[in-house]
Amino acid sequence: MVVVMEERATEEQIERVVAQLVTMGYDVHRSTGATRTVIGAVGGARMGDPRLVELLEGVQEVVRITEPFKLASRTFKQDDTVFLCGDVRIGGDEVIVMAGPCSAESEQQVQATAAAVKRAGAKVLRGGAFKPRSSPYSFQGLGEEGLRLLRAAADQHGLPLVTEVMDASQIEVVVQYADVLQVGARNMQNFTLLRELGKTRKPILLKRGISATIEEWLLSSEYVLAGGNMHVILCERGIRTFESYTRNTLDISAIPVVKKLSHLPVFVDPSHGTGRRDKVAPMARAAVAAGADGLLIEVHCDPDHALSDGAQSMFPSQFERLMAELRIIAPAIGRSICVEPVARRGWGR
Ligand code: PEP
Ligand code: MN
């Protein structure tokens, strides 16, 4: 349930409500908005009579959350969740583009790609060091050496870094290098990992599983939120359907659906969503037009020789061009996007 306090409720009254909820067996999460405090009560193995709370002083209303996801729901928190990652504001008016290679491969590749995405207006560097590959014989990532290369490039270009953590045992090392921890599609229901990430205080970018419903995806975010980490970004990256022309089917309709159900920021990954670099820009444009709070895009300085996901990685010139297009689309729907001047040289392929 959600307990909405009166605007002028005192701290003492709030604490009395919290104590009552704890006695009733609930886990309590406070959300202090611009005008009032809302208290989310989840769990409640020994569910008590909600009237015991309704009658307490300072309580305006007790609302039952009917969705199976509680802390992720708009009922618990009406305002969009906005938070800072370094000096990058996630979930605000500005559409944030995270870009970089699928995997860190070498110092030169990471540096060149980071420089290119920064120049084009990306606000966060992406790159994998621990790679979840369908085949155990494919390139598995450089591990901690990859993290070092990515961190150095991120620092050099003044960008925060998002990188994947595949297993709970990797959290300790990944948090030392990353600003945002990515949970890959294949791990969306790795509940042990999600629970451990709930204990960290770094933002989590949670990809949608390849065959996950929106409800399952939101329930996965709930594992992180319930641990006390409220900084979760949901990332739509395509789901598996009968269509085989594209690698996955990017579910653009998930954007308005999730934006209505949840206060969490919604990002879109059109690279894994399509698997083909010629389809990345149209889907990125569509995602921004549909209200995405940000994008996660694979860019490589030499995609034809990439060790992973080369076919879906954009050339820097294509990415630059896409950013210029997004600068036209974003304001049309009341959003902004990085306006740093871009050197417009040979847009080419
Ligand atoms: C990635 O971002 O490189 C990746 C492996 O993504 P996903 O988990 O969506 O396949
Ligand atoms: Mn990839």
158 and 232 both lie in a single domain: yes
In-domain check, residue 347: no
47 and 105 both lie in a single domain: no
**Residue 344 confidence (pLDDT):** 46
Each residue's pLDDT tens digit, 43-72: 865 667 888 999 999 999 999 888 899 999
**Residue 218 confidence (pLDDT):** 98
16 and 139 both lie in a single domain: no
In-domain check, residue 6: yes
| Residue 187 Cα to chain centre, angstroms | 14
In-domain check, residue 70: no
Q: What is the mean pLDDT of residues 285-308?
A: 98
Query: E strand or H helix at 335, and its extent?
Result: none
38 and 165 both lie in a single domain: no
Question: Considering only 5-14, 62-71, 148-157, 303-312, which range has the smallest mean pLDDT?
Answer: 62-71
* Per-residue confidence band for 236, with pLDDT thresholds at 50, 70 and 90: very high
**Residue 270 confidence (pLDDT):** 98
Q: Which of 140, 150, 182 has the most ligand 1 atoms within 8 A of CB, as the residue to mutate? A: 182
In-domain check, residue 77: no
56 and 88 both lie in a single domain: no
* Per-residue confidence band for 349, with pLDDT thresholds at 50, 70 and 90: very low
Which of residues 16, 31, 63 is at a domain's end?
63
* Per-residue confidence band for 340, with pLDDT thresholds at 50, 70 and 90: low
In-domain check, residue 156: yes
**Residue 64 confidence (pLDDT):** 87
9 and 94 both lie in a single domain: no
274 and 221 both lie in a single domain: yes
Each residue's pLDDT tens digit, 8-44: 999 999 999 999 999 999 999 998 888 899 999 988 6
271 and 303 both lie in a single domain: yes
Please, which residues bridge with residue 32 across strands? 37
Each residue's pLDDT tens digit, 91-135: 999 999 999 999 999 999 999 999 999 999 999 999 999 999 999
Residue of 335 and 338 predicted with greater confidence:
335
In-domain check, residue 346: no
306 and 253 both lie in a single domain: yes
249 and 123 both lie in a single domain: yes
Residue 314 per-residue DSSP state: B
Q: What is the mean pLDDT of residues 265-291?
A: 98
28: domain CATH number is: 3.30.70.1140
- Report angle CA 95, 90, 4 to the nearest 5 degrees: 120
Q: Can you give the residue range of the structural domain that contains 246?
A: 83-337
**Residue 47 confidence (pLDDT):** 62
Each residue's pLDDT tens digit, 185-198: 999 999 999 999 99
Paired tokens of 27? 């886990």
97 and 40 both lie in a single domain: no
In-domain check, residue 344: no
Task: Give residues (CB < 6 A) around ligand 1.
Answer: 102, 128, 132, 184-186, 207, 237, 269, 272
User: What residue owns the CA closest to ligand 1's atom 9?
Assistant: 185
Burial of 332 (0-12, 13-18, 19+ CB in 10 A): exposed
Please count the structural domains in the chain: 2
132: domain CATH number is: 3.20.20.70
Q: How far is CA 237 from CA 106, 211, 228, 291, in A?
A: 26, 11, 25, 15
For residue 248, the ligand closest to its alpha carbon is 1
User: What residue owns the CA closest to ligand 1's atom 10?
Assistant: 185
